[in-house]
Structure 1
Amino acid sequence: MTQSAAIHKATYHLYTFTISKLISTFGSSVYTFGISLYVLALTGSAANFAINLIFSILPRTVLAPFAGYAADKYSKKTIVIVSQLASALAVGALLLYSASVGLSLPAIYTTTALLSVSSMFASVTFSASIANLIDPERIQKAIGFNQSALSIAAIGGPVVGGMLFGFVSMNVFLLIQIAGYLLALLLEATMNFKLFSAKIEAAADDKKSMMQSMKEGVAYLKTNRVIMVIVSTAIGLNFFFSALMIGLPFIAVQQMKVEAVHFGFIEAMVAVGMLLASIYFSVRKEVKYPLLFSKRALFAMSIILAGLALPLMLDMSYRANVLYFIVLMFAFGISNVFVNTPIGVMMQKDVEEEYRGRVFGILESMAMAMMPLGYLLFGLLYDSVPGEYVVLGSSLCLIGLVAYMIRPNIIREAYPELAAVLQKKPVH
């Protein structure tokens, strides 16, 4: 294929990838919201709602490394297509069960777990495929488009899910979900997942066991210190930002008595901030020093986390509290993308193709594993310690983590040319 033809195909991938990602993530958001409403309406139990959430997280945590192995070992296109087909079949089975017997909690939990596994295989494989689908000059644009799709799904999914739940039967709701998965599958079937691949298949690789291959992925991480730092920092980041995920509803609703409708708007501002920041990255030139850029954004996120304590420490009016939380969550959404997008581009370019799936699989598994632990720990802390102490302490810990993990010698190792420039630059 000529260079011009490859660039033309990459342009097709850029928009097809974005549309398919929007359809699948939007569908998942609609399903999650709608089925959660159904569980609450069916049982009236928050515990049953929480169990459904656990079934959506636990399989991803356990199986993500295996998805990474599969992405490196087998055809990425096949994995993505089979994953989307599995999602459609899982919802289809739930639809048949609902039509013949009626929905039950075990059926819903089983479908949620199956969708978690299939969507995780597709997500990890797509993450490992971006540099194969898109030319290097437009990887940042692709990741920006991807973040935009996620943000639109986060904003619109609950709205559409709530409307469908109120106006159509659950069977029609599930049928729409199946149609979305199949449409995404058709789009992805037209993509060339080897367009910019430099991978050379080796016969020796076929003789390696799965455990040997996965150990190789871990060993690769250990030899690439900069990537190891990124993965380790992401794990700590997910843990400490559980303080925000638990603290925001606890402080805003429980302690500041923010009404549910206003709190919904506050949470939506995270996605709005992410959307605007994603659009910004899709049109600006690539960040020159992504690790340094993301380090500064992480410090900003730490300050935003500490900002949750302000309404507890100052006597502010109800309107001022709501406006403050809106601005704070909007800023959090922006800083989230400012951290993730440059690092995403860096990992696409710096992680060797033959290890990319396993690295993203390990990252997904470890980051997801920290979420239940963080939810449990910070849930207990908010019940026993004043909220302002929890968020301020978490913020300080996060600042210390970032300062240590992405310390100056790591920056110099990642960008030797930057160190040379700084040495020549006079200090004022």
Structure 2
Amino acid sequence: MSEELRIKQATFHLYTFTVSKLISTFGSSVYAFGISLYVLALTGSAASFAINLICSILPRSILSPFAGYVADKYSKKAIVILSQIASMLAVAGLLVFVLLNGLSLTAIYTTTALLSISTMFTGVTFSSSIANLIDPDRIQRAMGFNQSAISIAAIGGPVVGGILFGFVSMNVFLVIQVTAYALAVLLESTMNFKLFTNRTEQQSDSSKNSMLKEMKEGFFYLKSNRVIMVIVTTAVGINFFFSSMMIGLPFIAVQQLQIDATHFGMIEAMIAIGMLVASIYFSVSKDVEFPLLVAKRGILAMSVLLAGMGIPLIIGMSYNVTVGYFLLLMLIFGISNVFVNTPIGVMMQKDVAEEYRGRVFGILESMAMAMMPLGYLLFGLLYDMLPAEYVVVASSLCLIALTSYLMRSSIMEEAMPSLQKI
């Protein structure tokens, strides 16, 4: 295939990938919002809601390394399509069950767990495929488009879900999700997942190695690459300490500052809006010259913003000023989040060897997701035991110390040798 034709096909991938991501993510967002409201309406129990959340997180934490192994060993296109079809069948199965037997918590939990597994295979495989679908010069743009699709779904999904919840039955939510997955499958079937592959037949033929051996090789590769290992370790730390924000934001804003639920919804939406703004910026700007440095600054900015959540508890503010303060805080937080994720994502797409990319992304997702339940539990207890401003400030200081150590000058210069010339 000529280079000109490959570039044209990569352009097609750029937009097809974005539309596919937007459709499936938007459908998932509507479904997740709707299913949460139906669980609460059905049981009136926060514990039931928490169980559904665990069913979503736990399978991803356990099986992500296996998904990475599968993505490295088998056809990425087949995995993406089959996992999307599996997601579609899982939701369709719940729809049939509801039509025959009515809504059941057990059915919802089972579907949530199955969806968690199937979407995890889709996510890990897609993450390890971007450099195969898009030419190297436009990987940052692809990452920006990808993040934009996620942000739009995060903003619009709950809005559409809230509207539908008031007017339609649970069945409509499920039909929307099935339709979204079906459309995504049609789009993904047109994509060439080997367009920019560098793997030889010898590298691809690993049938002589056992699954356990190849998964261990992924860990050894990660351990041997100090820069990538630092990125993974930092990501784990970020997910853990920012669990304090996920728990603390509603606790501080709603419980302690008595912010109205409508205004709090606007505050949470500002995170997605900030992410959308930053994603658009990355999709049109030139590649970041020093991605790890940009990511480090982004993490430090997010750490300061985390501590800033406690300021209204220390300094008396009027209600309107408090709401405006949190709106601005979360907007900047969303922007900073993308300034961390996008440069790091582009760097990993380019620097991780293709034959290990799936396993590295699988390990990253597993370790990061595993920290979330632990963080939720720990910080949930801390907010009950200590003043909230102490918890957010301590979390901020710990994250600043962790980032400063893991991303110290020697690591930065090893990852970006040209940084020494500045």
TM-score (norm. length: structure 2): 0.99
| Partner of residue 294, structure 1 | 295
Aligned 1:8-407 pairs, distance under 5 A:
8-202=8-202, 205-407=206-408
**What does the per-residue CA deviation read over 1:98-124, in whole Å, with 9 as the maximum and x for residues that have no partner?**
111111000000000000110110000
Q: Answer yes or no: is the 8 Å Cα contact 2:234–2:403 preserved in 1.
A: yes
CA distance in 1 between counterparts of 2:315 and 2:78 reads 56
SS of alignment partner, residue 207 of structure 2: helix
**What does the per-residue CA deviation read over 1:139-198, in whole Å, with 9 as the maximum and x for residues that have no partner?**
000000000000000000001111222222222221121111000000000000000001
- One-letter amino acid matched to 2:405: Y
- One-letter amino acid matched to 2:87: S
The CA deviation at 1:130 is 0.1
CA distance in 2 between counterparts of 1:158 and 1:264 reads 10
CA distance in 2 between counterparts of 1:381 and 1:129 reads 40
Same amino acid, percent of matched pairs: 71
CA distance in 2 between counterparts of 1:407 and 1:177 reads 45
The CA deviation at 1:301 is 0.6
- One-letter amino acid matched to 1:31: Y
**What does the per-residue CA deviation read over 1:230-273, in whole Å, with 9 as the maximum and x for residues that have no partner?**
00000001000011111111111111000111100000000000
| Partner of residue 425, structure 1 | none
SS of alignment partner, residue 315 of structure 1: coil
The CA deviation at 1:224 is 0.6
Aligned length: 421
SS of alignment partner, residue 287 of structure 2: coil
Q: Answer yes or no: is the 8 Å Cα contact 2:34–2:165 preserved in 1.
A: yes
Tell me which stretches of 4 or more aligned residues in structure 1 moved more than 6 Å.
none
Q: Can you give the 5+ residue segments of structure 2 that lack an aligned partner in the other structure?
A: none
**What does the per-residue CA deviation read over 1:324-382, in whole Å, with 9 as the maximum and x for residues that have no partner?**
01000000000000000000000000000000000000000000000000000000000
| Partner of residue 416, structure 2 | 415
**What does the per-residue CA deviation read over 1:63-114, in whole Å, with 9 as the maximum and x for residues that have no partner?**
1001000000000000000010001100111111111111100000000000
The CA deviation at 1:204 is 5.7
TM-score (norm. length: structure 1): 0.97
Q: Can you give the 5+ residue segments of structure 1 that lack an aligned partner in the other structure?
A: 423-428
CA distance in 2 between counterparts of 1:242 and 1:108 reads 25
CA distance in 2 between counterparts of 1:168 and 1:177 reads 14
- One-letter amino acid matched to 1:233: T
How large is the RMSD of aligned CA atoms in angstroms? 0.8
SS of alignment partner, residue 301 of structure 2: helix
